[in-house]
Amino acid sequence: MTRTIEFHDLHPTPADLAADVLAGLRRRPRYIPPKFFYDAEGSRLFDAITQTPEYYPTRAELSILRAQASEIAARVGTGSLLVEPGGGSCAKVRILLEGLRPCAYVPMDISREHLWLAAEQVAAEFPWLEVHAACTDFTRLLELPASVPAGPRVAFFPGSSIGNFDPPAAADFLAAVAELVGPGGFLLIGVDLKKDRALLDAAYNDAAGITAAFNRNLLTRINRELGADFHLAAWAHRAFYDAALGRIEMHLVSERLQTVRVAGESFDFVAGETIHTENSYKYAIDEFRGLATQAGFRPEAVWTDAGGLFSVHLLRAAEGDR
Ligand code: AVJ
């Protein structure tokens, strides 16, 4: 029997919660990056969000991937090296594996335990598949493990995670992916579409309050890990679509004048003051194609779900005519 799974610790150093939270609370407006949502409870709450009736992106993207799996395989071909930045749970890629028959699958994620468990399950489920799980920050995309096999490269970036970057940073990220896959390489990427504000607002304000719990869990995490004293009852969830900026903004709102201690430092909040915790940009199809083209990709195909809520783009890195 051949060995079908390898684990690689590339840049396993976790992001520095203390430094980023303190810097984010000192500035105005206050901002804590969304990557810190995902402790064990935050990851559980995010999974629960994807099950709410209001949060359509996950269901819509899965329906597109299922409907187009053979079309995607026909366009991309078999035997490629399939790389998934941030592919911590390896869930959506399962839909593509039989069709794509990649020479190897490389999920990359900063959350080592989560990644290794998920990678092991994929390797067990697809015994023919060579898996190289790379524990790394996906901003360090270009350093793949040395032992990954050579092959035409395909990157997979589902979930509209691209929406967490502001457009210039999204273009930089796409340019790095273009470099990673090389000329002629592919990117299959899920992108949430601009749409009616009511649907967007509802998706980030589910009636069961799971998104609110997900947002507020950030404060629980900071209390636990940084010895802070955020009083949860005095903080409210707020999420709204800003049509001019084309993004959902999530905030935590201070409901009264209060002082909070975080890692030995004091922060005063007036009533109504917010901590901005997430942006989630939405893109019309042509708008996203423009961004991708700027970053060195050519649009190859795009698919949407029956409701026209979500898009999956197949892009191909330009061959030297940038
Ligand atoms: C994981 C970034 C795609 O922006 O929709 C869901 C995260 N935040 N509900 C998104 C999220 C609140 C999600 N992404």
The DSSP annotation for 82-134 comes to EEEET-SS--TTHHHHHHH--SEEEEEES-HHHHHHHHHHHHHHSTT--EEEE
pLDDT value, residue 13: 61
Q: Over the stretch 71-83, which tens digit does the pLDDT of each residue have?
A: 999 999 999 999 9
Confidence of residue 3 (pLDDT cuts 50, 70, 90): low
Pairing, β 30-31 against β 81-85: unpaired
Which residue type occupies 304?
T
State the Cα–Cα distance between residues 78 and 100, nearest whole angstrom: 5
Residues 222-249, mean pLDDT to the nearest whole number: 98
Residue nearest to atom 10 of ligand 1 (CA): 280
Which of the listed residues 35, 43, 62, 278 should we mutate to test ligand 1's pocket, taking the one with most ligand atoms within 8 A of CB?
278
State the Cα–Cα distance between residues 75 and 200, nearest whole angstrom: 32
Atom of ligand 1 nearest to the CA of 278: 8
Q: Reply yes or no on whether the pLDDT at 145 is more than 90.
A: no
Q: Reply yes or no on whether the pLDDT at 279 is more than 60.
A: yes
Whether the Cβ atoms of residue 69 and residue 158 lie closer than 8 Å to each other: no
Which of the listed residues 280, 281, 283 should we mutate to test ligand 1's pocket, taking the one with most ligand atoms within 8 A of CB?
280
Atom of ligand 1 nearest to the CA of 215: 12
Which of the listed residues 46, 111, 189 should we mutate to test ligand 1's pocket, taking the one with most ligand atoms within 8 A of CB?
46
State the Cα–Cα distance between residues 322 and 306, nearest whole angstrom: 34
Residue nearest to atom 5 of ligand 1 (CA): 280
pTM higher than 0.75:
yes
Task: Find the residues whose C-beta lies inside 6 A of ligand 1.
Answer: 49, 57, 159-161, 163-164, 204, 211, 278, 280
State the Cα–Cα distance between residues 103 and 81, nearest whole angstrom: 6
